Amino acid sequence: MRSDRRPKVAKKYRVSGRVQGVGFRYFAERAARQLGLSGYVRNCPDGTLEAYAIGERTSLEQFKQILADGPRSAMVMAVEETDEPVSSRYSGFVIEGGW
């Protein structure tokens, strides 16, 4: 029996470089929604950007590559990835934090 439902996994990404003040959160939100991911993206006080995403493994791999490329005005130096537990808190993808 073949199942079309693949298990959901969750990842957290920490993106460093010139990633704040360049539209990165909106860029990440748009990409995540196109990939069918749920979770959040936010700026961190240390100047990095954090994204938590839930979805199929292949979609998360695509999302990580998109984060590594970044929007045109950003300069991504690194993307760190960690495995996370899947949270039922997120039904869509949102931008957290107003600054």
Does residue 89 carry a catalytic annotation? no
Of 18, 33, 43, 72, the catalytic one is 43
Of these residues, 5, 25, 57, 89, which one is catalytic?
25
Q: Report the distance separating Cα 37 and Cα 86, nearest Å.
A: 12
Q: What are the sequence ranges of the domains in the chain?
A: 9-86
Q: For residue 98, is pLDDT > 70? A: no
pLDDT band at 7 (very low <50, low <70, confident <90, very high): confident
Residue-wise pLDDT for 70-83, tens only, equals: 999 999 999 999 99
> CATH assignment of 9-86?
3.30.70.100
Q: Is the overall model pTM greater than 0.75, yes or no?
A: yes
Is 57 known to be catalytic?
A: no
* Whether the Cβ atoms of residue 21 and residue 70 lie closer than 8 Å to each other: no
